[in-house]
A = this chain, B = another copy of it.
Amino acid sequence: MVDQSASAAVNRQIVFSSIPDGLPTLDNFTLVESPVPEPQDGQIRVRHLFLGLSPSARLRMAGDSDYGAGMPLGKPVQGQAVGVVDISRNPAFQPGDHLVVNGGWQSYSVTSGRGATRVDADLAPPSCALGLLGTSGMTAYVGMLDIGLPKAGETVVVSAASGSVGSVAGQIAKLKGCRVVGVAGGAEKCDYVTKTLGFDACVDHRAPGLPQRLAAACPEGIDIYFENVGGAVRSAVWPLFNDFGRVVLCGMISDYQNREGLTGPDWFPILTHRLTIRGFLLRDHADRRDAFLADMADWYRSGMVRYREDVADGLEQAPAAFIRLLRGDNFGKTLVRLADG
């Protein structure tokens, strides 16, 4: 039993200290230590166990945009954490409660509890609440089922197929009877996607000849493209659509670093193949949360959906883990472990 009281005297924080130019570097972040904050009446203090890293944070590091308010400099990097209530001055929460909070990259956060999500620690390990049973898993669920509308026998292509969203989106399509083709970076990830996740095929986007290899993996064309990446993968998908194909636009990680002068593909196939391109953000789909949790917990416990975490140890590793995620060098949901639960 480690004595937590000594470390609890200090709140370690990774502060967002300068705006990246392209891919972030370690210089954009600063590790600082400050006193652990005290909750006021109506507030709770949450001791973070894991941080969940998401590529979309890169967008907010560029300032205010249509995507949302920019991330403020000089404050801890924003992001989700799962943690335990440490002190409660809000009768709605008890010490020991597990919560997901937008607590940022630090050891502790203080919140009124608004926007916090309760975690059922009996359902799965708490870290799952940042991934499979959290934002990533629900993004995959809503995106594939409600936006993609998969039908048995259709061909579904999922980019970033070994990642936290793509891996789950593809497995859901498999559960619905689709032929599922992943796109991932490198042979190891492709092996994982086919052998562990059970996709029908996986194409390595880092090897030459992506368009030809993707076409060969989709002999009956593409009915649904689950879009996480943009760029060259999208270009390879574009000529292969069947009539009435759908694009589930979930993210475009390859376009997040430099957004100047970007274009999209020619619209002609949208007309000739009667395609539907639809973007979505999870925040519009809160009404699906109960169905998602029930289905996904069931699929997870029964082994029908497999899930992988890429865990870095220690708060100070968060910037490097984030950069690896943006480079596509992560392998599974990218987490930073801060303390044992």
Contacts and interface: CB of A to CB of B under 8 A. Distances in A.
Contacts of A201: none
A252 interface: yes
A270 interface: yes
B264 A249 contact: no
Contacts of A270: 249, 277-279
A65, A263, A284: residue with the most chain B Cβ atoms closer than 10 Å: A263
Nearest to A263: B263
B272 A66 contact: yes
Given A274-B279, A277-B276, A279-B275, A252 B268 contact: yes
Contacts of A281: 271-272, 274
A262 B279 CA distance: 22
B278 A275 contact: yes
B251 A271 contact: yes
A280 interface: yes
A96 interface: no
A265 B270 CA distance: 13
Interface string A237-281: 000000000000111100100010011111111111111111111
Contact of A268 (B262, B265, B268, B272): B262
Contacts of A275: 277-279
Nearest to A261: B266
A267 B252 contact: yes
Interface string A205-241: 0000000000000000000000000100000000000
A277 B277 contact: yes
A230 B271 CA distance: 11
A230, A271, A280: residue with the most chain B Cβ atoms closer than 10 Å: A271
B273 A279 contact: yes
Nearest to A265: B264
A267 B268 contact: no
A14 to B, nearest CB: 26
B271 A249 contact: yes
Contacts of A67: 268, 271-272
B230 A272 contact: no
A266 B262 contact: yes
Given A276-B276, A276-B277, A252 B264 contact: no
Interface of A: 65-67, 230, 249-252, 255, 259, 262-281, 284
